[in-house]
Chain A
Amino acid sequence: MNLSFSHKPLLGSAFALGLLGVAQVPVALAEDDHKHHSGRSSMGTHAGTGNAAHAMDHHGMTHDDGTATAQSRTPIAPITAADRRAAFPHVSGHTLHDSAIRRFFLFEKLEYQDADDGSALNWDAQGWIGGDVDRLVLRSQGERSNGLTEQAEIHAMWGHALNNNWDLVGGVRHDFKPESAQTWAALGAQGTFYNIDIEATGYYGENGQTSARFEATYDLLLTNRLILQPTTEINVYGRNDESRGVGAGLSEIEAGLRLRYEFVRQFAPYIGVNWSRSYDGTANMLREEGEAVEEWRFVAGIRLWF
């Protein structure tokens, strides 16, 4: 525990004398001093005090009245038994709520997407439960299109604040879709860099697959309620997984631009566009199936938190 005592307590003889000699100390109380002043003084009259000390260091300086005293001018009363009783009553400890468990859940995206092959419902949510330093970090994202869940995943991770901007996160990610469910170990960092919110996470899947994801979002204030939000997400995989349609290497880059209006902070409808493109092995698989590797989507949704 650091209490920052710059100096060790110096309770020297001066102090001891002060206590012993209390009764003899002449009293110079505020009231006495009042009588020497009446009416107002201009600012100018202030200037006199303290000038003598200008060139002096803090220690051993003279004070406005000329000298430092050895004993307090205002007598410090000797302690009585009644004082002791009043000073330390038996009470239960003081409580603040500085370590309460709190929670936060945000749907950064909860949107309808106008896709090439119909429409899609897309979500990207995150949240935390915990204190200022250690938290349970939750994330979820997914997509339903034409009544089917195409992709759905959830993260549950322990988050630990490394400094004021960055959290280390580690835990599990579970994919319900695509195809059969799979579970990953997840390790990464999330934080803020030049006001850009960043999540960078690496994954090791139960079947030996490896993956990494990078997400970034930024809020550009057009007004204090009308906010333009560029986002990006990049996914990389270690090896081909043809059943799930991902190939080794850079799999997909997604970028979006959403314009929201915060009626209140918690509730902001938005519209925007989302662009995505597949690369490397993933793109090859798509081409083989005759599907497009690049897609623009118009989006409309609600950003909300609680």
Chain B
Amino acid sequence: MQDKILRRTFVKSLAAGGLLAQLGLWHAPLQATGRRHRPAILTGNEFDLLLAQTSVDFAGASHRAMTINGTLPGPTLRWREGDTVTLRVRNRLDAPGSIHWHGILLPANMDGVPGMSFDGIAPGGLYEYHFKVRQHGTYWYHSHSALQEQSGVYGALVIEPSTAEPWHCDRDYVVMLTDWTDENPERVLSKLKKQSDYYNYQQRTVFDFIHDVSEHGWLSTLSERMGWARMTMNPTDISDVSGYTYTYLLNGRAPDDNWTALFQPGEKIRLRFINGSSMTYFDLRIPGLKLTVVAADGQPVEPVEVDELRIAVAETFDVIVEPQAEAYTLFAQSMDRTGHARGTLAVREGLSAAVPEMDPRPVLTMNDVGMHHSDMADSGHGGMDHGSMGGQMQQHPASESHNPLVDMQTLYPQPKLDDPGIGLRDNGRRVLRYADLRSRFADPDGREPGRTLELHLTGNMERFAWSFDGIKFSAAQPLRLKYGERLRITLVNDTMMAHPIHLHGMWSDLEDEHGNFLVRKHTIDMPPGTKRSYRVTADALGRWAYHCHMLYHMEMGMFREVIVDE
């Protein structure tokens, strides 16, 4: 309870002080350390945000972070659906900055993408965002300038609904998962460009080979190794950046710093999980508790009870839990199993529960990257096909042919909506799958898409070059949509990495294998070997960013401009 009171007091003082409090921050940024700092919760409809450098200490040494109002994450903003909000963002960084409101419907000039929505916020400058809030739920906000997001420019966004939600919760906590590195993000990127497996210390060794031979025999082991070698690919390549450099944070706390949320037994607690990482997917669970997922990407879904969920970069999930015991561990292991974020749900401060062991390192199979024509357990949906799926080989855009920026083309991609995902299959836990997500509303548009836009996610792992259809942003023409049209976007993953694809300004209405509306999202996870479709209603005029939300993939060119014009 102490925790809660402290936070309330802080919020009140901020509210009372209003602009002065903000100006106080402006003059003297907090010296945040891993232990002391705690993001504020700001409410109302006028907000002052300040981008500045702050020192932080997550891994035992003081380093420079870029923060919003002096904390990492920045303050949690609580808006109300229907309100018009004003956000004054000042930039005291020595580089141009920006804030993008992820998943929020707004006019294009409020979207915060430099060079598309506005010119960015110059050092010393100010930009005033002003728009009507037309939705509710859990979202987040972050810088859209260079690699600032990796340095700490992000925060949670909670929008209260205008009408009551169909569930009651006694407590409500934001759980924001992020990846922090003491390295300069530019250095991280530079290393990846020089040696793309720089951060992968889970590669298979001679001893793994010997082990596999004794397990599966010479022939099978050798042919498996040769298969990957022929593609010059590495099946342990799950994450480009790993726990080697990352400290995984939960609400800005390192695992040992044990962020704690309090509850009374019998209460219902709503946890708003946000993956604000630059490059890390998390597999999240609270041993001993069932997670009832009630919203995905801010949008309400039919409640579904699971033990574990994978949260792709930029996704959000609202989960309700009903803890009875004294303490539980919030355990979020990185998808590549090189580290974890951790927090605690407890009846009082200072308690902790057992922290689980990390699961084994996942190793990709040819099946995972869609190179084998396989009948996975989930393809028993009556043999009906979505376009060219199942049976036929995937066709690829001509721009991928003889293109050094494309190192792989998937042969038999599948939607894999009911696949728990790499490293989560058959783990004895009920894992959330996209197939489990059902919006609590019918297709909000209802029209048949007028056309299909197929885009392939492409890359050259070794050169760390990323693109759509083998064309990097700098060489690509914008995608053009007609205002009011309903179209289908079909994505095919021609790489062996997962990519969370985010369209600004408009919803992505994910379809199931049969073309039925499944769930409304702002970020669609595209694991390797998948082909997934979603519908978009082009109801937002302007220039919008459309990109992979893996920060370094985006920065290296997996990005398109979408123009919605009359």
Contact = CB atoms under 8 A, between A and B. Distances in A.
B415 interface: no
Give chain B's interface secondary structure class: loop
Interface of A: 1-12, 14-15, 18-19, 28-35, 37-43, 45-46, 49-50, 53-61, 63-65, 68-74, 76-77, 79, 83-84, 86-89, 91-99, 102, 104, 132-133, 161-165, 192, 194-195, 220-225, 265, 305
B194 A30 contact: no
A195 B229 contact: yes
A164 B386 CA distance: 30
A19 B114 contact: no
Q: For B407, B448, B452, which residue has the most chain A Cβ atoms within 10 angstroms?
A: B448
A266 B52 CA distance: 32
Nearest to A77: B539
A6 B473 contact: no
Interface string B136-179: 00000000001000000000000001110111000000000000
Given A68-B446, A96-B559, A164-B405, 10 more contacts: A2-B399, A29-B441, A31-B162, A71-B447, A87-B543, A93-B115, A164-B407, A165-B462, A194-B232, A265-B198
Contacts of A2: 397-399, 469, 471
Contacts of A69: 445-447
Given A73-B443, A79-B483, A7 B460 contact: no
A228 to B, nearest CB: 8
B229 A42 contact: no
B302 A96 contact: no
20 contacts: A1-B477, A6-B452, A15-B486, A30-B444, A32-B441, A34-B440, A46-B302, A49-B438, A64-B443, A72-B446, A73-B445, A76-B483, A86-B107, A98-B466, A98-B472, A164-B463, A165-B232, A165-B462, A195-B229, A224-B205
Interface stretch (B11-19, B259-267, B273-281, B514-522): B514-522
Contacts of A72: 444-447, 484, 486, 537, 539
B449 to A, nearest CB: 9
Contact of A220 (B206, B382, B477, B516): B206
Contacts of A31: 161-163
B512 A50 contact: yes
A30 B441 contact: yes
Contacts of A221: 203-206
Contact of A33 (B117, B204, B440): B440
Interface in B454-492: 454-456, 460, 462-463, 465-466, 469, 471-477, 479, 482-486, 490
A5 B113 CA distance: 25
A221 B200 CA distance: 13
Given A50-B514, A224-B205, A98 B304 contact: no
Give chain A's interface secondary structure class: loop
B539 A54 contact: no
Interface range on chain B (Cβ under 8 Å from partner)? 35 or more
A34 B397 contact: no
Q: Which 3 A-B residue pairings sit nearest by Cβ, starting from the closest?
A: A94-B115, A98-B557, A87-B542
Interface string B278-313: 000000000000001000000110111100000000
B256 interface: no
A32 B200 CA distance: 49
Contacts of B300: 30, 34
Contacts of A68: 446-448
A94 B107 contact: no
Contact of A50 (B118, B490, B516): B516
A61 B195 CA distance: 48
